[in-house]
Amino acid sequence: MDLSLIVPTFNEGPNVRELLRRLAQTLDGTAYEVIFVDDSTDDTPDIIRAAAAESDAPVRLIHRTEAAGGLGGAVVAGVQAASADWCVVMDGDLQHPPEVIPQLLARAARGDVDVVVASRYISGGTSKGLAGAVRTAVSRLSTLLTKAMFPRKLHGCSDPMTGFFLLHRPAIDLDTLRPRGFKILLEILARRQLRLAEVPFDFAERHAGASKASFTQGVRFLAQLTMLRFGRMSAFAVVGGVGAVANLAIMWALIALGMEYVWAAIIASEVTIISNFLLLEYLVFADMRADSGLMRHRFLKSFTFNNLEAVIRIPVLWVIVEATHIPSVVAAALTLVAAFVVRFVFHALIVYAP
Ligand code: GDD
Ligand code: MN
pLDDT at 239: 82
Residue nearest to atom 23 of ligand 1 (CA): 211
pLDDT at 55: 92
- Per the CB < 8 A criterion, the answer to whether 61 and 88 are in contact is no
The complex's ipTM works out to 0.96
0.80 surpassed by pTM: no
Residue-wise pLDDT for 125-138, tens only, equals 888 877 788 888 88
Cβ–ligand 1 distance for 160 under 6 Å, the answer: no
pLDDT at 241: 83
189 C-alpha vs ligand 2 centroid, how far in Å? 21
How far is the CA of 89 from the CAs of 116, 162, 282, in angstroms? 11, 10, 40
Cβ–ligand 1 distance for 92 under 6 Å, the answer: yes
Which backbone phi and psi does 6 adopt, to 5 degrees?
-105, 120
Distance CA 5, CA 132 (A): 29
Residue-wise pLDDT for 37-51, tens only, equals 999 999 999 999 999
Pick the closest to residue 98 from 254, 231, 207 (CA basis).
Answer: 207
Which backbone phi and psi does 266 adopt, to 5 degrees?
-65, -45
Cβ–ligand 1 distance for 62 under 6 Å, the answer: no
- For a ligand 1 pocket test, name from 19, 182, 185, 222 the mutation site with the most ligand atoms within 8 angstroms of its C-beta: 182
Spell out the per-residue pLDDT of the chain, length 354, in tens: 899 999 999 999 999 999 999 999 999 999 999 999 999 999 999 999 999 999 999 999 999 987 777 898 899 999 999 999 999 999 999 999 999 999 999 999 999 999 999 999 998 888 887 778 888 888 888 899 889 888 888 988 999 999 999 999 999 988 888 676 678 898 899 888 999 999 999 998 888 888 887 777 776 676 667 667 776 777 788 788 888 888 778 878 888 899 877 677 778 888 988 998 988 887 777 767 777 888 899 999 999 988 888 788 777 877 887 899 887 666 666 777 788 888 888 988 888 887
Neighbours of 192 (CB within 10 A): 13
Neighbours of 109 (CB within 10 A): 11
- Per the CB < 8 A criterion, the answer to whether 305 and 342 are in contact is no
Distance CA 82, CA 303 (A): 51
238 C-alpha vs ligand 1 centroid, how far in Å? 36
